[in-house]
Structure 1
């Protein structure tokens, strides 16, 4: 398995991993969701193709204390973050090529461009306030 699944007993380990200097790719799903169950294999394929990134699987109902206020409208939802900049938060087509291209495009962005994009719209400013996994995990610890 190339991704980590968030559990109540590995929060400290996940928090430490999120503090490292690499991209974070989180899939926000729910156990009852058939699309999520199918997408899990795709997510693992992505993690295998991008071993330099940290892949995290989060069940939004099991971990509502962390992500309960996030506006997850549909599944699967991806959250992509580098340091303190959330660069993507949204529903993803369950297609491995689309997610792969998205990750490649995000990884090409430098810190200055990430900062510029983070402030480029009210939606993206909200991502920075509400979707930062590092902050969310630290707050719930």
Structure 2
């Protein structure tokens, strides 16, 4: 399995994939970002290590209409979502082993516990409201 890159002509296909029952791992980057460019290979390797999950690469400038309200402070930013629950949204060290452990931990966490954690702080509550890729791509 490999990652999918969000393009203007595949939004419907990506939205359909996001609606399915698998963990979503999205990398939010920018074409001008050298760190993102070097992280792209590592992101593909992560997709290979986790073929049962859906990996999505999003250039936040090419798709500002999708992510315009997301507060991406630094790159690369990962967004990990299980069904309607955004489990993680934040800057990730460009180290595939750190990302791998994070993805594994979230995948192994009970959905009810993910939901409880999602409601546990105002910041995480904001993720649910503002960062849900299923909602953003469905609009």
What TM-score, normalized to structure 1?
0.97
How far apart in 1 are the matches of 2:32 and 2:124?
Answer: 29
Please give the alpha-carbon distance, in whole angstroms, between the structure 2 residues aligned to 1:97 and 1:90: 16
- Post-superposition shift, 1:76? 0.2
1:115 deviation in Å? 1.0
Instruction: Report how many residues are paired.
Output: 139
Cα displacement (A) at 1:51: 0.2
Displacement, 1:14? 0.1
Moved over 4 A (4+): none
Which residue of the partner structure matches residue 30 of structure 2?
Answer: 30
2:73 counterpart residue number: 73
CA distance in 2, matches of 1:43, 1:64: 21
Q: 1:98-109 maps to which residues of 2 (within 5 A)?
A: 98-109=98-109
Cα distance in structure 2, aligned partners of 1:55 and 1:35: 18
Partner in structure 2 of residue 62 of structure 1: 62
Unaligned stretches of 5+ in structure 1? none
- Structure 2 gaps of 5+ residues are none
Give 1:4-23 correspondences, 5 Å limit. 4-23=4-23
Rounded Cα–Cα distance in structure 2 between residues aligned with 1:51 and 1:87: 19
Give yes or no for the alignment of 1:137 onto 2:137: yes
TM (normalized to structure 2)?
Answer: 0.99
- 2:91 aligned residue: 91
Please report the RMSD computed on the Cα atoms of aligned residues, expressed in angstroms.
0.7
Aligned residue in 1 for 2:110 = 110
State how far apart, in whole Å, the 1-side matches of 2:58 and 2:3 are.
11
CA distance in 2, matches of 1:114, 1:94: 24
Q: Is 1:2 paired with 2:2? A: yes
